[in-house]
Amino acid sequence: MRTGNPLSNYAGDTSFDYPFDIVLQSGDNLPNEGIRTDTDSDFILLGMSINTFDSILFTLQLKDSNGNYFSSAPVFAANYAGQGSASYMFPGRPRIFPPNSSLGVGIKNLFAGQNTVQLLFRGEKRFVKPQPICGPEALTNRLIVRAA
């Protein structure tokens, strides 16, 4: 999923998707659902697909790992629908999630019956070179002396 955005052209980036599956009963309001990102890399969130649903009558409110919401209030899911197989692309800069962070999903079913929903968070994993645990760089970091 390469785009023209300079944040997504890093050599260590790999396309990756996180699915979020849920079965909602009539009237369910679940403000604190979500997924946890893998521990091996940062995740650059670029877009979202709504792949499966019994009814598009549900709202979403997304938030990042710091608790910052993507919108000021819940948004009808139809507003996140892309064109055909194309994902909805989040406006502005991509959102970067550190390893093992959470992508929060608040979801409310407005349909009178059961609603099976799958959201697909689309983006890229960014594998970053780990900090050295030995060698001159690590030794320098360990020998930093703090003035009293």
Centre a 10 Å sphere on the Cβ of residue 32 and count the other Cβ atoms it contains. Answer: 10
Which pLDDT value is given to residue 130?
A: 61
Question: For the whole model, what pTM was predicted?
Answer: 0.79
Below-70 pLDDT ranges, the chain: 1-11, 83-84, 129-148
Instruction: DSSP for the chain, please give it.
Output: ---S-GGG--TTEEEEEEEEEEEEPTT-EEEEEEEE--SSSEEEEEEEEEEE-S-S-EEEEEE-TTS-BSSSS-EEGGGG--STTPPEEPSSSPEEE-TT-EEEEEEEE-SSS-EEEEEEEEEEEE--PPPPSSSHHHHHHHTPPPP-
Give CA–CA dist 134/5, Å, rounded: 35
Which pLDDT value is given to residue 36?
A: 96
Report the Cα 16 to chain-centroid distance in Å.
Answer: 11
Which pLDDT value is given to residue 147?
A: 47
Which pLDDT value is given to residue 146?
A: 46
What are the φ and ψ backbone dihedral angles of 20, each rounded to 5 degrees?
-130, 110
- Which domains occur in the chain, in start order? 6-142 (2.60.120)
Give CA–CA dist 120/112, Å, rounded: 24
Measuring CA to CA, which residue among 106, 118, 89, 92 is closest to residue 28?
106
